[in-house]
Amino acid sequence: MSHHILELKDLYFSYPDGTEALKGISFKIFHGESVGIAGSNGSGKTTLLLNLAGHLLPTKGEVSIGEILLTKKTRHEIRRKVGLVFQRPDDQLFMPTVYEDVAFGPVNLGLPSEKVDERVRNALEMVGCLNLINRPPHRISEGQKSAVAIATVMAMKPDILVMDEPASNLDPKSRRQLINLLKGFKHTKIVASHDLDLILDVCERCMIMKDGEIVADGPAEEVLFNEALLGENNLELPLSRQNSRLSFR
Amino acid sequence: MSFDREYFNVGYLDSLSYRDTFVHKLDPRVKVLVSFIFILFVVSFPKYDLSGLMPYFIYPVFLLTAGDIPVKAIAKKVLYISPFAIFIGIFNPLLDTEVVLTLSGLPVTGGWISFLSIIVKFILTVSTALLLIAVTSFPGICEALARMKLPKVFVIQLLFLYRYLFVLLEEALRMLRARDARSSGKQGKDIKTFIRLISVLLLRTIERAERIYQAMLSRGFRGEIRVLNRHKLGIQDILFVIFSVGMFYIFRNFNIVGFLGETVSRSIR
C-alpha cells in the first residue's frame, strides 16, 4: 500500500494564450487512496486533471503514473491507466447507444467481442444501469447519463478513476446514489468538485487549489472543517458540518 | 414557439423506431435492401404508366400498419416536401397537350398523366424512406449500411450526426428561449441577433467537438471506430425479402390493376 501510484513533481502549465494555469504543483497519491480536489472557479482543477490524463502536456515538471513518465509517446499508455470522467456526460457519451458507448473503450483495447460484451455488462451492472443497455443516450435522464459515463470509464478497468464535478446537474437522490457508488469502488480516486459534502463522504484526503497552486493538503475532515482556510478560497463549510452545530446528527 | 415544435417532431420519428413490432424486429439490412429495391422498381415505371404504380402502395401501407405508425406523422412530412415534386412536374401539362384518353367526356392530356405519375412516385418513395426510419432505429440503419460495405467514414458521420443532432438542437432551443425571455415582442428578433446566435452556436459546437475528441482519446481512440454487428439474419428476414421482392416483380411485369378491373367488371355483368 505504501507504493505511490501517481506522482507530480513541480508541475507547471500555461495555455497558448499565456494564462498560467498551474504553478508548481507537487504531490503523491498512493494505491487505493481517494483524494478530493476543491477550489474556486478557475483555480485550475480541470487543467490539473487534463494534465494527469495526458490531454495536456505540462510545460514544466513531471507527471508519472506508476513507473511511467508522461510524455508525448507514453500518453496513450497513461490514458489507459487513468480513467477520466468528464464534467458533462453529453461530451462523454458519443455513441448512438449505451451499449456501443460502453463498448467503445474495450473495443479500442483490441479485446475479442465476447470479452467486450462481458466488460460492458459488468460495468453497467456496477453502476446499476444494465436495463439501459440498448437505449440511445439522448433518451435517458441526466442522472442515468452520469452513471453510464462512469461505466464507460470503468469498462476500461483503469488504475485510477479521475472525475471532474461528477455530481453537478444531479438531483439529490441521484447524487446520493452516485456517492454510494463511488464509496463502493476500491479504486484509487481523484474527485474535483465544489461539492464539499461529496468530497467529505467519498474521500479521506482533500486538497485545496487556489490560482494554480495547492494551498492545503491533508485529511479531508481536517481541511474541510477549517473555516478560515475555506473562506479564503471562496468555499464554505460542508453543509453536513453546518447542520451538526444544531446537533442534527 | 415553432422551433420547440419542430424539435419534438424530430424526436417523434426517432421515438417511433423503438417500438417492438414484427417490422421493427426485422434485420435492418433487410429493410434497407427491400426499401432500396422498392424505390428502384417504382422509379423504373414509364411516365404514362399510372395504373401500374398503384399496387405498390401496398408496401408503405404494410410498413405503416404492421409497424403501428400513425399515418398523420408520415403524411405531414410527405406534404412538407411535396412542393419539390410539384415543381418538377408542374410544366408537364403545359408542354405535353396531346389528349390520350377521355374520362366521361373530359379530355385528359398526356401531360396530366405524367404529372400525376411523378406525384405518385414521389409519395411512394418518400413515404417509404420515412417509414424505413420510423421502423428501424437509426443506429440499426447505420449498422446495416456498414455491413453492406458503405465506406466507414460516411457511416461514422451519420452516427455522430444522429447522436449530436439532439444535443445541438437542445442547445439552440435553450439559446432561443433565452433570447425570447429578454426580447419583448419584436425587439431582438432581427437578423443581426440571429447571426450572432448562430455564430455562438458554432463556437460552442467547436468547443464541444474538442471535449468529445478528448473523451474519445481517453478511451483509447486511435482513429478507428468499430460499428458493432448486433443483428443476425433469421428465417423471417429471408422470407420477407423473397416475398416482397417477388411481389414487386409481379407488380412490375403483370398488369394487376387491369386484371382486377376486368374481373370486377365481368362479374358485375
Q: What is the mean pLDDT of the segment spanning B205-229?
A: 83
pLDDT band (50, 70, 90) for residue A1: very low
- Chain A residues within 8 Å of chain B (Cβ atoms): 50, 53, 55, 76, 79-80, 82-84, 86, 88, 90-97, 99-100, 103-105, 107-109, 136-139, 152-153, 156
| pLDDT range class, residue A245, cuts 50, 70, 90 | low
Q: Is pLDDT at A243 greater than 70 in this prediction?
A: no
Q: Is A16 helix (H, G, I), strand (E, B) or coil?
A: coil
Phi, psi of A120, deg, nearest 5? -60, -50
Residue B184 pLDDT: 67
Which residue pairs from B70-79 have beta carbons closer than 8 angstroms and sit at least 24 positions apart in sequence? B73/B12, B73/B13, B73/B16, B73/B134, B74/B127, B74/B130, B74/B131, B74/B134, B75/B127, B77/B13, B77/B126, B77/B130, B78/B123, B78/B126, B78/B127, B78/B130
Q: What is the pLDDT of residue A49?
A: 92
pLDDT, tens digit (0-9, with 9 covering 90-100), for A57-81: 999 999 999 889 999 888 888 888 8
Size of interface A-B (CB pairs under 8 A): 78
- Which residues from chain B sit within 8 angstroms of residue A78, using beta carbons? none
Domains annotated on chain A, with CATH:
4-244 (3.40.50.300)
The answer to whether residues A164 and A46 touch, using CB atoms and an 8 Å cutoff, is yes
Q: Which of B164, B213, B218, B230 to mutate to test the interface with A (most CBs of A within 10 A)?
A: B218
| pLDDT given at position A167 | 84
Contacts of A156 in chain B (CB under 8 A): 219-220
Q: Name the minimum distance, in Å, from the CA of A77 to any CA of chain B.
A: 9
Q: DSSP label at A131? A: G
Q: At what angle do helices A98-108 and A113-126 cross, to 10 degrees?
A: 120
pTM, full prediction = 0.74
In single-letter form, the type of residue at position B206 comes to I
Of residues B17, B15, B60, B24, the one with CA closest to residue B42:
B60
Given the DSSP bridges, would you call strands A4-14 and A20-30 parallel, antiparallel or unpaired?
antiparallel
Smallest CA–CA distance, residue B126 to chain A, in Å, is: 25
Inter-CA distances, B39 with A101, A197, B139, B246, B260, Å: 34, 61, 22, 14, 24
CB contact under 8 A, A79 and B214: no
Contacts of B28 in chain A (CB under 8 A): none
Q: Do B163 and A84 touch (CB under 8 A)?
A: no
Those residues with Cβ within 8 angstroms of residue B60's Cβ, 6 or more apart along the chain or in another chain: B124, B127, B128, B131
Write out chain B residues lying below 8 Å of A55, CB-based: 214, 217-218
C-alpha to C-alpha distance for A183 and A34, rounded to whole angstroms: 9
| Chain B residues inside the 8 Å CB shell of A101 | none
Nearest-Cα residue of chain A relative to residue B156: A95
Residue B131's pLDDT band, with cuts at 50, 70 and 90, is very high
B-chain CB neighbours of A100 within 8 Å are 139, 228
- pLDDT (mean) for A38-50: 90
What is the distance in angstroms between the Cα of A233 and the nearest Cα belonging to chain B?
27
Q: Find, in chain A, the residue whose alpha carbon is nearest to that of B209.
A: A91
Residues contacting residue A45 through CB under 8 Å, at least 6 positions apart: A37, A39, A164, A192, A209
Instruction: Please give, rounded to a whole number of angstroms, the shortest distance from the CA of A17 to a CA of chain B.
Output: 16
pLDDT of B36 above 90: yes
Asked if A29 and A226 touch (Cβ cutoff 8 Å), the reply is no
Chain A residues in contact with B159 by the CB 8 A cut-off are 95-96
* Beta carbons of A153 and B219 less than 8 Å apart: yes
Instruction: List, for residues B183-192, the tens digit of each pLDDT value.
Output: 766 666 778 7
- Which residues in B have their CB inside 8 Å of a CB on A? 14-15, 18, 137-139, 142, 159-160, 162-164, 166-167, 208, 211-212, 214-222, 224-226, 228, 230
DSSP A146-207: HHHHHHHHHTT--SEEEEESTTTT--HHHHHHHHHHHHH--SEEEEE-S-HHHHHHH-SEEE
The alpha carbon of B134 is separated from its chain's Cα centroid by a whole number of angstroms, namely 8
Nearest 5°: the CA angle A57, A61, A67 is: 80
What is the SS3 assignment for A37-74?
A: EEECCCCCHHHHHHHHCCCCCCCEEEEEECCEECCCCC
Query: Closest chain A residue to B165 measured between Cα atoms?
Result: A138
Q: Which SS3 state, helix, strand or coil, does residue B26 take? A: coil
Q: Which residues of B touch A51 (CB under 8 A)?
A: none
Tell if the CB–CB gap between A55 and B166 is shorter than 8 Å: no
Best mutation target among B158, B219, B225, B231 (most A Cβ atoms within 10 Å) is B219
Q: What is the pLDDT of residues A98-141, one digit of tens each?
A: 998 899 888 888 888 899 999 999 999 988 899 999 888 888 88
- Residue range B243-250: mean pLDDT, rounded: 92
Average pLDDT for residues A198-216, to the nearest whole number? 93
